[in-house]
Amino acid sequence: MDAPAVARQEGIVDAVIAAASRAAVGLTHAALGARLSILIFHRVRAQPDPLFPNEPDARRFERLMRLVGKSFTVLPLGTAVSQIAAGDLPPRSLVITFDDGYRDNAEIALPILARHGLVASFFVTTGFLDGGRMWNDSLIESVRTSPLNELDLGFLGLGRRPLTSLPDRRAAIDTLLARIKYLGPEERNAAVSRVQELCRVRELPGCLMMAAEQVRVLHRAGMEIGAHTVSHPILTALGPHEAEREIAAGRRRLEEIIDAPVDLFAYPNGRPFRDFDQTHVDIVRRLGFRGAVSTAQGVARPGDDVFQLPRFTPWGDPLWKWATQLTLSQTRTRYATTVAS
């Protein structure tokens, strides 16, 4: 089959999946009442990344957006927050969110969203705009590009790790991310620098995150901009004053950039109890935000706490698996964990 024929066939299959998904979500709504699915994305790469095969590339993201556009009512998060609070959620509600502020959000995801008439909410960490890099990316790119076949991670108590194949490198990255994530900021940065040194990598990419101007472009295109702190700390690792400073300063910087109010927030890393607790929910509410999202897996229902809305990352390839995950998420009888109030 030639490329246009493959694309035609793919279009037909996708339309059938979207129709089935729409019907199934409609039935869920009729049987169980309104639910809100909030999708969470980080990056949309130009090409598939063999190290992270589950992350969408442009082509796959386009198919996902076509599917959600046809089978759901896609809402801005701010609208969904008001509707959850008012107990007035339309059928098939879905919100699209992006965390961290990757450059590909503006360069690749935005044109696709625009093509499908969809709005999304972008939670931007301000400390890495204009050429910065998140610690996890320093680590990933060090291991990805290391010329070595083995890495001695004895200094972290992780022994020697092979780097001979792609799965080896991915395993080393996952182990390192899990080990380093919960260190304090200084210790974490020191560990990342040490790993980079051990990997014998001198230069790391300086163009992964958005420029401030790209945040403005997203805002001007009708996308929502939400706060996600300055330096993406684990809030529970900070004292309450420092946590508040991170949350408030990140918002202030975004408001300067887009010259408009920012009233939605995403907790960094986002797991209830482990990454944020009631102290941070109270801070976010007191600072005048209208709503916040976690990374607790689940769907929201009318009347839920709008300062701890759960999100969901459907997985699976081909598309029907992804659609099934998404549809099934609406039928979950156990809802998201929230911190005690």
Told to check if 244 binds Zn ion by CB under 5 A, we report no
Contact characters 100-119, Zn ion, x per CB under 5 A: x-------------------
CB of 86 to Zn ion, least distance (A): 29
- Nearest alpha carbon to residue 125 among 245, 209, 35: 209
Distance CA 283, CA 158 (A): 37
Q: Find the Cα–Cα–Cα–Cα dihedral 309, 277, 128, 194, rounded to 10°.
A: -130
Binding mask 67-106 for Zn ion (x = CB under 5 A): --------------------------------xx------
Q: Which is nearer to Zn ion, 62 or 99 (CB)?
A: 99
Please give the single-letter amino acid code of residue 230: V
Residue nearest to Zn ion (CB): 99
The count of residues interacting with Zn ion (CB under 5 A) is 2
| Minimal distance, residue 212 CB to Zn ion, in Å | 18
| Nearest CB to Zn ion, comparing residues 99 and 304 | 99
Q: Measured from the CB of residue 123, what is the shortest distance to Zn ion in angstroms?
A: 7
Number of neighbours of residue 57 by Cβ within 10 angstroms: 18
We find the least distance from the C-beta atom of residue 316 to Zn ion, in angstroms, to be 23
**Residue 36 · residue 93 · CB < 8 Å:** yes
Judge whether 299 and 28 are in contact, CB under 8 Å: no
- Pairing verdict, β 73-74 and 224-227: unpaired
Contact 37, 95 (CB under 8 A): yes
Nearer to Zn ion by C-beta: 214 or 294?
294
Radius of gyration of the chain (CA): 20
Cα(208)–Cα(218) distance, integer angstroms? 16
Task: Kindly state the smallest distance separating residue 232's Cβ from Zn ion, in Å.
Answer: 6
SS3 per residue for 146-170: CCCCEEECHHHCCCEEECCCHHHHH
For residue 161, the minimal CB distance to Zn ion (Å) is 25
Closest approach of Cβ 176 to Zn ion, in Å?
18
Joined tokens for residue 144: 């990805």
- Quick one: 102 or 322, whose CB is closer to Zn ion? 102
Question: Which residues here bind Zn ion, judged by CB under 5 A?
Answer: 99-100
